[in-house]
Chains A and B, each alone.
Chain A
Amino acid sequence: MATLLVACAAVAADEEDTATTRALARELAEQGDPSGAAVEYRRLALREQHPLRRGGWRWMAAWEYWHAGRLEQAEALLDRVEAEAPTWMTPTLLLRAEIARSERKPAEAAFYFDSFAAATEAADARAYARRAAIAARLEGRDAAGARAALADWPDAPTSVAEAVENYVAGRDKNPQIGGWLGLVPGLGYAYANEYANAARSLILNGLFLYGMHETAQDEQWGAFAVIAFFEFTWYSGSVYGGLDASHRYNRRRADDAAATVRGGAAWRPDESALPTLSLLFTF
Chain B
Amino acid sequence: MGRLLRPVRRAVGISLLVAGGASAESLDLAQELLADADWPAARREAMRAAIALARPESERARAMAAIAWIRGSYSPEESAAALAELQRLAETAERPDVRGSAALEVGHHLLRQGCPDEAWPWLARAFRAGVSDETTLAAGAELLWLGRMNPSRWRRDPDLRLQIASLRVPLWNMPLVARERRGPPLSARPGLWFTRFYRRQIRPAIGNRCQLRPTCSEYFVQAARRYGWRAIPLLADRLVREPSVVQAAEHPLYEQDRVVYPDPVEAHSFWWAGSP
**Chain B 232-253 near chain A by CB (<8 Å), digits 1 or 0:** 1111110111011001000000
In the bound assembly, the distance between CA atoms of A194 and B36 in angstroms comes to 39
**Chain B 48-90 near chain A by CB (<8 Å), digits 1 or 0:** 0000000000000000000000000000000000000000000
Give the Cβ gap from A132 to chain B, nearest Cβ, in Å. 18
**Chain B 172-214 near chain A by CB (<8 Å), digits 1 or 0:** 0000000000000000000000000000000000000000000
Residues of B within 8 A of A247 (CB): 270-271
Give the Cβ gap from B80 to chain A, nearest Cβ, in Å. 27
In the complex, the answer to whether B18 meets A13 with C-beta atoms within 8 Å is yes
In the complex, the answer to whether B36 meets A76 with C-beta atoms within 8 Å is yes
In the complex, the answer to whether B233 meets A239 with C-beta atoms within 8 Å is yes
Residues of B within 8 A of A175 (CB): 271
Residue of A nearest to B254 (CB): A32
**On chain A, which size bracket covers the interface?**
35 or more
In the bound assembly, the distance between CA atoms of A238 and B233 in angstroms comes to 8
Which chain A residues in 223-257 approach chain B with CB under 8 Å? 232-234, 236-241, 243-244, 247-248
* Residue A2, interface by CB 8 Å: yes
In the complex, the answer to whether A197 meets B244 with C-beta atoms within 8 Å is yes
Which chain A residues in 1-47 approach chain B with CB under 8 Å? 2-3, 5-7, 9-10, 13-14, 17, 35-36, 39, 42-43, 46-47
Give the Cβ gap from A68 to chain B, nearest Cβ, in Å. 10
Residue of A nearest to B14 (CB): A10
In the bound assembly, the distance between CA atoms of A105 and B17 in angstroms comes to 47
In the complex, the answer to whether A237 meets B276 with C-beta atoms within 8 Å is no
In the complex, the answer to whether A6 meets B234 with C-beta atoms within 8 Å is no
In the complex, the answer to whether B276 meets A240 with C-beta atoms within 8 Å is no
Give the Cβ gap from A50 to chain B, nearest Cβ, in Å. 15
In the complex, the answer to whether B240 meets A42 with C-beta atoms within 8 Å is no
* Residue A214, interface by CB 8 Å: no
In the bound assembly, the distance between CA atoms of A72 and B26 in angstroms comes to 21
In the complex, the answer to whether A43 meets B29 with C-beta atoms within 8 Å is yes
* Residue A271, interface by CB 8 Å: no
Q: Given the known A-B contacts A13-B18, A14-B18, are A103 and B41 also in contact in the complex, defined by CB atoms under 8 Å?
A: no
Interface centre among B21, B36, B41 (most CB of A within 10 A): B36
* Residue B33, interface by CB 8 Å: yes
**In the complex, number of A-B residue pairs with CB atoms less than 8 Å apart:** 99
Residues of B within 8 A of A35 (CB): 38, 41
Residues of A within 8 A of B32 (CB): 42
In the complex, the answer to whether A197 meets B241 with C-beta atoms within 8 Å is yes
In the bound assembly, the distance between CA atoms of A35 and B44 in angstroms comes to 13
In the bound assembly, the distance between CA atoms of A3 and B14 in angstroms comes to 9
In the bound assembly, the distance between CA atoms of A172 and B48 in angstroms comes to 55
**On chain B, which size bracket covers the interface?**
35 or more
Interface centre among A5, A43, A76, A237 (most CB of B within 10 A): A237
In the bound assembly, the distance between CA atoms of A17 and B18 in angstroms comes to 11
Give the Cβ gap from A257 to chain B, nearest Cβ, in Å. 17
* Residue A280, interface by CB 8 Å: no
Q: Given the known A-B contacts A175-B271, A197-B241, are A10 and B15 also in contact in the complex, defined by CB atoms under 8 Å?
A: yes
In the bound assembly, the distance between CA atoms of A39 and B104 in angstroms comes to 27
Which chain A residues in 30-76 approach chain B with CB under 8 Å? 35-36, 39, 42-43, 46-47, 70, 72-73, 76
Neighbour of A204 across the interface among B29, B233, B234, B240, CB < 8 A = B240
Task: Identify whether the interface residues of A are mostly helix, strand, loop, or mixed.
Answer: helix
In the complex, the answer to whether B33 meets A39 with C-beta atoms within 8 Å is yes
In the complex, the answer to whether A6 meets B25 with C-beta atoms within 8 Å is no
Residues of A within 8 A of B247 (CB): 196
In the bound assembly, the distance between CA atoms of A7 and B270 in angstroms comes to 59
* Residue A104, interface by CB 8 Å: yes
Neighbour of B237 across the interface among A9, A46, A241, CB < 8 A = A241
* Residue B156, interface by CB 8 Å: no
Q: Given the known A-B contacts A175-B271, A240-B237, are A196 and B7 also in contact in the complex, defined by CB atoms under 8 Å?
A: no
* Residue B268, interface by CB 8 Å: yes
* Residue B167, interface by CB 8 Å: no
Residue of B nearest to A195 (CB): B244
Neighbour of A6 across the interface among B14, B45, B276, CB < 8 A = B14
**Chain B 7-33 near chain A by CB (<8 Å), digits 1 or 0:** 100110011011001100110110011
Residue of A nearest to B45 (CB): A39
In the bound assembly, the distance between CA atoms of A228 and B29 in angstroms comes to 55
Q: Given the known A-B contacts A10-B18, A35-B38, are A236 and B236 also in contact in the complex, defined by CB atoms under 8 Å?
A: yes
**Chain B 211-242 near chain A by CB (<8 Å), digits 1 or 0:** 00000000000000000000011111101110
Q: Which residues of B contact A (CB under 8 A)?
A: 6-7, 10-11, 14-15, 17-18, 21-22, 25-26, 28-29, 32-33, 36, 38, 41, 45, 232-237, 239-241, 243-244, 247, 268, 270-271, 276
Can you pick out 13 interface pairs between chain A and chain B where the beta carbons lie within 8 Å of each other?
Answer: A2-B10, A3-B10, A6-B11, A7-B14, A42-B33, A73-B38, A104-B276, A233-B233, A237-B236, A238-B240, A240-B237, A241-B233, A241-B240
Q: Which residues of A contact B (CB under 8 A)?
A: 2-3, 5-7, 9-10, 13-14, 17, 35-36, 39, 42-43, 46-47, 70, 72-73, 76, 103-105, 175, 189, 194, 196-197, 200-201, 204, 232-234, 236-241, 243-244, 247-248
Task: Knowing that A46-B29, A194-B244 touch, tell me 4 more A-B residue pairs with CB under 8 angstroms.
Answer: A43-B29, A47-B25, A233-B232, A234-B236
